[in-house]
Amino acid sequence: MTRKEDARFVRGRGTYVDDVRLPGTLHAAVLRSPLAHARITAIDTRAAEAHPKVRVVITGAVLADRGLAWMPTLSGDVQAVLATDKVRFQGQEVAFVIADDPYSARDALALVDVDYDPLPPVVDARTALDPDAPVIRDDREGRRDNHIFDWEAGDAAATDRVFAGAAVVVAQDVLYPRVHPAPLETCAVIADHDVVTGKLTVWATTQAPHAHRTLLATITGIPEHRIRVVSPDVGGGFGNKVPIYPAYVCAVAGSMLTGRPVKWTEDRSENLMATTFARDYHMHGEIASTVDGKILALRVRVLADHGAFNGTAQPSKYPAGFFHIVTGSYDLEAAHCSVTGVYTNKAPGGVAYACSFRVAEASFLVERLVDLLALELDVDPAELRMRNLLRPEQFPYTCSTGWEYDSGDYPRALALLLETAGYRELRAEQARRRELGEHLGIGLSFFTEAVGAGPRKHMDIVGLGMADGAELRVHPTGKAVLRISVQSQGQGHETTFAQIVAHELGIGPDDVDVVHGDTDATPFGLGTYGSRSTPVSGAAASMAARKVRERARIVASAMLEVSPDDLEWSPGRWSVRGDPTAGKSITEIAAAAHSDLDLPDGVEGQLDASCVYNPPNLTFPFGAYLCVVEVDPGTGQVVVRRFVAVDDCGVRINPSIVEGQVHGGLADGIGVALMELIAFDPDGNHLGGSFMDYLLPTAVDCPSWELAETVTPSPHHPLGAKGIGECATVGSPAAVVNAVMDALRPFGVRHADMPLTPAAVWRAIQGRPLRG
C-alpha cells in the first residue's frame, strides 16, 4: 500500500509549524553567546527596546523574576533557559527579542549589548576531569569538577578472569564523533496564551507532544489540563525534536507577557549549533578470544561528552542509554562496560539520533572489534562472525549485561547476505584488483537493535512510564478513526496504523483515519523515538481493535440470536460456526451497535475501545550488512560502490515503508562514516554551522541499495512486529568503516576514526591518522 500522507506531501499541502498563521502573531529571535565560556557582567537591552517594532526583550533576569531562568532536562539536570550568570557553550541562549515581524526581531539582536568576561573553555572531554580544568557547572551547589556520572553493567571480575586466561586479546580506542540529527525542518514553536481562559496552546515541532505538555506544565506552573500541544506535520525528527528547548519556554513567557501568540523558527545554523547533538563517545574496547576464533569476552570503557548541561534523552535508569547492548549479536562468556559522563563547553544533549539510546555507539564498537580480531587471527571476517553468532535455539537469550533478546535467526540472515552479495566472487575480484593496484574494500557488520521502550516498570523519562495509548472509534457506518499518542515525523504512521486496524477488523485501510499530534485529541503516551511507535503504540492499536472485534461479536450474537461462543471470525465478519452464510459484517454490526437493538445486560452500545500498552520487553530487530567501497589512495576519496542489507524486523506491516526506512538509515550511515562531524576549535568555536561545513550525504554519495529480508516474529508483540526506523543507522556505519579499513589493509592501516573524509583516509595511509 502506498503512503496515504503522500497525497498531501507531494502536492506541497503539508502543514508545518512555520505554516501556521495565527492572527496577531509576534515573532521572536534568539541572541546567542559568541563565546564558549564566559561570565556575563552586564546586559543592556535599552537600544533594542527602543527599536520601533520591538515589543519585549526577555533576558535571564526577566525569567528569573518568574522562576523560569532554569528548566529541568530530560536527564535530571537543569539547563539555563536564558543565561544569567555565565554562558557555557557557543550559541547558548542569552536574550529573546519579540517584535512585530521576524526581520525586526533579528535586526534588534544587534542592539542588545552584552559584556562578557571570557573564561578558559573545556573543549576536549579527555581533559574535562583534569584537576586544573575550569569548573563549568559552578551553578550547582558544591560542584568542584566536571564529572556527571559513572555507570557500569556486566560482571567486572568474571570478565577480568576470562581476559586473564584468553589466548588472544585485541584492543582499540574508537571515537564515535559528535554528529547531528539535522532534520530538514528546523525546530519551531508558536506559544499562544489566552489571558481570559488561562489556556496555553503550543504549536511545536515535537516528537513527543504529551511528554512536552507534562514538562511545560511542570516548568511554567500552568495546570496541565489548560495546556494543549499541537504537533502538526513534522519534517524529520531523528531525535532532534525530543527535548524541550529554551526558546520554547521563552515563547511561552513571551506570550504571557504580550498577550499575543509568539512564534519562533530556528535557522539552520542555530539548529546545528545549539540543539541537541548525538554520540560523542570516546570508547576503549577490548575483545578476547581463543586461538581458533571463539570470542570469549568484551571489556569496554567509555568517556561520554555530554556538553554543558546533561540533556540526554533516555530512560532515566540508564545514564548511558542502552549502551550495554555492546555484547552485540554474539554468544559471550562475560562482558563488562563502564561509562563516565563529563561536562564540556559544548551544546547539551546526547540524543538517540536514529538509534535506541546509544545502541549505535555500542554496535559500532563491537563490530569494529570483531573486524580487528579477524585481522589479528587472519580469519575471514564473515567466517569469524558466523562462528560466533547466537544460534536460533538460544532465544530468548539473556546476554552478559542483562538484556533478554526476544527472537532471532542470525546465521540465516548472515548466510542470506553473503549469498545476495556474492561474497566469494567479491573476495576474488578484490584479489584480482589488488594485483592491479586498485583498492577495493569489503566491509561487514551484524547488529542487534533494542527498540520499543518500556516496559514501564524499568523505563521512564522524567518519571513518566514508557507506555503508549490508542483509542479506536467505529462510527455507525463502519468507518473508523484511530487516535494515537505517537507522532509521525515522516515515517508514515497515517498509513501503517490504518493498516493495523484494517488488518484486525477486516475493513479497508482507507476506511480508517489516523489522528495524532494534538494532545487534546489523542490519548497520553511517551511519543516517537527509539523506534518505539510500532512496538508500543502499534501494539496498542492492535489490542484496541481486538477489543472492538470482541464487542462486535456480542452485538452480532444479539443480531443473529445465537450465543457469542457459536460465532467465528473471518476478516471483516462474524458468522455462525458451520454456516458462513449466516453472518454479519463489521459495517452491519457497527450500525446495529448504534441502533435500538436490544443488547445483553451489562453490554454497552457502540464499538469504541481503547488500550494503554505496556510492552513486556523491548523488541530486538537485527540485520547483516555488507558494503563495497573503492578508495583512491592518492586523494583519500572513498566511493561506496555497493550496499547490501538484510534486515529482520519481524512481521512487516508495510514492506515499502520498511524499505524506505532502511534506505534512509543506510544513507545516514554513509554520512556518519564518511562526512558528518560537529567539530570545535580549541576556543570552543563551533566549526560546522551550515550545510557547507556539516556535510550530509546526497543521492550522489549513495549506491542503489540492495535489500533482502528474513522474518523472525517478535514472540510478545501482538502482530509479531519489531521496530525498524533506526536499524540501518545503527548497522551501517560499521560496514562502511570496515570496508574502508579492508581497502587500506595493504597500507598496514588497522583503524582510523570517523568521519573517513578524504583527508582522514589520506593521513591514515601516510601513517599519521587524524585523532579525535
Q: Smaller CB distance to ligand PCD: residue 651 or 702?
A: 651
Q: Given candidates 214, 271, 654, 757, which one binds ligand PCD under the rule CB under 6 A? A: 654
Q: Smaller CB distance to ligand PCD: residue 441 or 538?
A: 538
Instruction: Give the span between the Cα atoms of 719 and 711, in whole angstroms.
Output: 12
Q: Candidates 18-26, 154-162, 196-204, 484-492 — which segment interacts with ligand PCD by CB under 6 A?
A: 484-492
What's the min distance (Å) between Cβ of 186 and ligand PCD?
A: 13
Which residues are 301's β-sheet partners? Answer: 284, 338
Distances (CA, A) of 559 to 120, 195, 480, 609: 79, 52, 21, 20
Instruction: Give the span between the Cα atoms of 622 and 615, in whole angstroms.
Output: 19
Q: Are 22 and 85 a contacting pair, CB within 8 Å?
A: no
Q: Smaller CB distance to ligand PCD: residue 492 or 684?
A: 492
Does residue 265 belong to the site contacting ligand PCD (CB under 6 A)? no
Q: Smaller CB distance to ligand PCD: residue 255 or 489?
A: 489
Does residue 528 belong to the site contacting ligand PCD (CB under 6 A)? yes
What's the min distance (Å) between Cβ of 136 and ligand PCD?
A: 26
Q: Candidates 121-129, 350-358, 635-643, 750-758 — which segment interacts with ligand PCD by CB under 6 A?
A: 350-358
Instruction: Give the span between the Cα atoms of 501 and 486, in whole angstroms.
Output: 16
Does residue 657 belong to the site contacting ligand PCD (CB under 6 A)? yes
Does residue 664 belong to the site contacting ligand PCD (CB under 6 A)? yes
Does residue 496 belong to the site contacting ligand PCD (CB under 6 A)? yes
Handedness of CA 382, 386, 389, 395 (dihedral sign): positive
Q: Given candidates 237, 285, 349, 671, which one binds ligand PCD under the rule CB under 6 A? A: 237
Does residue 315 belong to the site contacting ligand PCD (CB under 6 A)? no
Q: Smaller CB distance to ligand PCD: residue 529 or 643?
A: 529
- Dihedral of the alpha carbons of 552, 554, 560, 566, in degrees to the nearest 10: 110
Q: Given candidates 554, 649, 743, 754, which one binds ligand PCD under the rule CB under 6 A? A: 649
What's the min distance (Å) between Cβ of 369 and ligand PCD?
A: 24
Q: Candidates 337-345, 348-356, 405-413, 762-770 — which segment interacts with ligand PCD by CB under 6 A?
A: 348-356
> Following DSSP, what letter does each residue of 663-727 receive, concatenated?
HHHHHHHHHHHHT----B-TT--BS--STTTS----GGG----EEEE-----TTSTT-B---TTH
Q: Smaller CB distance to ligand PCD: residue 286 or 647?
A: 647
Which residues are 712's β-sheet partners? Answer: none
What's the min distance (Å) between Cβ of 711 and ligand PCD?
A: 9
What is the pattern of x (binds ligand PCD, CB under 6 A) and - over residues 713-742?
--------xxxxxx----------------
Instruction: Give the span between the Cα atoms of 285 and 328, in whole angstroms.
Output: 13
Q: Given candidates 478, 530, 623, 669, which one binds ligand PCD under the rule CB under 6 A? A: 530
SS3 string of 301-352?
Answer: EEEEECCCCCCCCCCCCCCCCCHHHHHCCECCCEEEEEEEEECCCCCCCCCC
Q: State phi, psi for 317 to the nearest 5 degrees.
A: -70, -15
What's the min distance (Å) between Cβ of 726 and ligand PCD?
A: 5
Buried b (16+ CB within 10 A) or exposed e, 641-665: ebbbbbbbbbebbbeebbbbbbbbb
Does residue 650 belong to the site contacting ligand PCD (CB under 6 A)? yes
Which amino acid appears at position 531 of this protein?
S
Does residue 534 belong to the site contacting ligand PCD (CB under 6 A)? yes
Residues 6 or more apart from 142 whose CB is under 8 A from it? none
Interacting residues with ligand PCD (CB under 6 A): 183, 207, 236-239, 352-354, 489-493, 496, 528-534, 649-654, 657-658, 661, 664, 721-726
